[in-house]
A and B are shown apart, each in its own frame.
Chain A
Amino acid sequence: MTDLAGAGPRPHRVDGKPDAKDGNKPAEFVPGQPDMWAFVLFEALVFTSYFVVYMIFRTRSPELYLQSQAHLSLRIGVFETLVLLVSSWSMARCVQAARQGAYRSALTNALLTMFLGVVFLVAKVFEWTRLIRMGFGFSSNEFFSHYFFLTGIHFLHLLIGFVAVGVIVYQLRSPARRSQELVETGATYWHTVDFLWIVIFALLYVVR
């Protein structure tokens, strides 16, 4: 795979913060490619529109949504949220480690992130199977349409997240390729998958 166009490692001090322009506070920098941030904000807006549609339709038939929601397991939802939060934590550690040149630590954290992503996937598939066995599918009723749609499209984003982490792992493994910008770009994407889930969880599992 050809090297993705990216900058080299950012200059850093011993404590890991980027060099300050004045000596007082750390310099401002955009983590990763600004292009990825543009994508994150745009996707966030698209998701906002999906959420608003869900909320409005929810308020039109509250009883139906409440009854259907009761079949979801809050505990599994909380578990999944915690898993993704840990994965974001390990991803943030990965970025910091890479920034300071501790590439083995960074690699370990990246692989941990990937592993936690798989845990989430398994939990999600388990949840879906359980619901389908109970007789609730995508077209069962309005609530479940939204449920499977939102969790499904999030699942898709998570799969793309594996590609992002894969790129990070690939970059970290070889001294010739290491690009701090790419590591941060992939991390930005991964955190997006996390924070989108946080909202989805609140809207589907908790909101009444």
Chain B
Amino acid sequence: MSAPATEAVSPLEAPSGSPLHRIAWHWRHNPKRELWLAWWTIVAFYQLFFLVFFVLTRTQPPPSPGWDVARVVQWFHHHHYGLLIGFGIMFLITGMTAPSNALIAYSMRRMSVSPAFAYSYLVLYSLSAIPGMLLMCIALTVGAMRPDRDPELISWLYDFAFLSFVGTMGVFLIGSLVWMLAILLDRNRVLPKWFGYLNLCNALTEIVVSPAWIFKTGVFAWNGLIAWWIDMVVFGLYTGVFIFLLRRMIQREGFGTGPLPDLAPTKETDPSALAETAQ
């Protein structure tokens, strides 16, 4: 939570004091509280996402598509509890993607471009969670649930899960392009132009993932150097960058309609001043 400026000259002063006291004040008075709530949701979600996929379930980095049926069944046995618990958590927290997408759409509404950009993005990303994440969670949970199922079926679930997670990048890449276009056309300087181009980089590296549908080994397989590792590095960087930029956007937000002021808290963007004008 950003530390409130204490030089506001108004009765509605942002307090210093214990964190709990400050959080309570912001919750009641800060007009940006919804934005900050959404932002913190994004941060929390990605931490949990990392924990679930990389640590608990070990589905990222993905295991090899080149394994035979017996090896795949062995993988399921080995990760039995990790899969069930990890994805169980995932099913509970999937809803956290909603504030995340909403905040990004909000950034586009704040821009000088048509609201259609924000709406398209929202629709795209609401739908994309299904093939992009949930299908894998569901398929692998089904596979882990009954370990004595026919091995061929388990192998089928394995392919289905990883192909849907890694291979359906198309839904995300169009969203990136929508955001990119909005940023490049924007006159309110909500987000920097270089981030618009970074969206293009992200989209291009996501296109590179599509050969995963063809290859079972090598650099273009769903666990390959090019199709997964390099793509993940770019995506990780991209995510870190946009979380940082959204934070800066919220800090700069003055709830006007023109260009967003630069950073450096001014009287217009100070939470206590905004709260006062909101009263």
Contact = CB atoms under 8 A, between A and B. Distances in A.
A153 B208 contact: yes
Main secondary structure of the interface of A (DSSP, over half): helix
Interface stretch (A7-15, A30-38, A118-126): A30-38
Contact of B198 (A5, A42, A50, A138): A42
A192 B220 CA distance: 25
A153 B230 contact: no
Contacts of B185: 2, 4-5
Interface in B138-190: 184-187, 189
A138 B214 contact: yes
A36 B218 contact: no
Main secondary structure of the interface of B (DSSP, over half): helix
Interface string A31-73: 0011110110011001001100100010000000000000000
A27 interface: no
Contacts of B220: 145, 149
A46 B218 contact: no
B201 to A, nearest CB: 6
B62 interface: no
A208 to B, nearest CB: 21
A142 B218 contact: yes
Given A4-B184, A156-B204, A38 B211 contact: no
B243 interface: no
Interface string A107-150: 00000000000000000000000000000001100100100010
> 8 smallest A-B Cβ distances: which pairs?
A39-B197, A35-B194, A35-B193, A38-B194, A5-B187, A49-B230, A53-B225, A139-B214
Given A39-B197, A57-B219, 8 more contacts: A2-B113, A2-B185, A5-B185, A35-B193, A39-B200, A46-B205, A53-B226, A149-B226
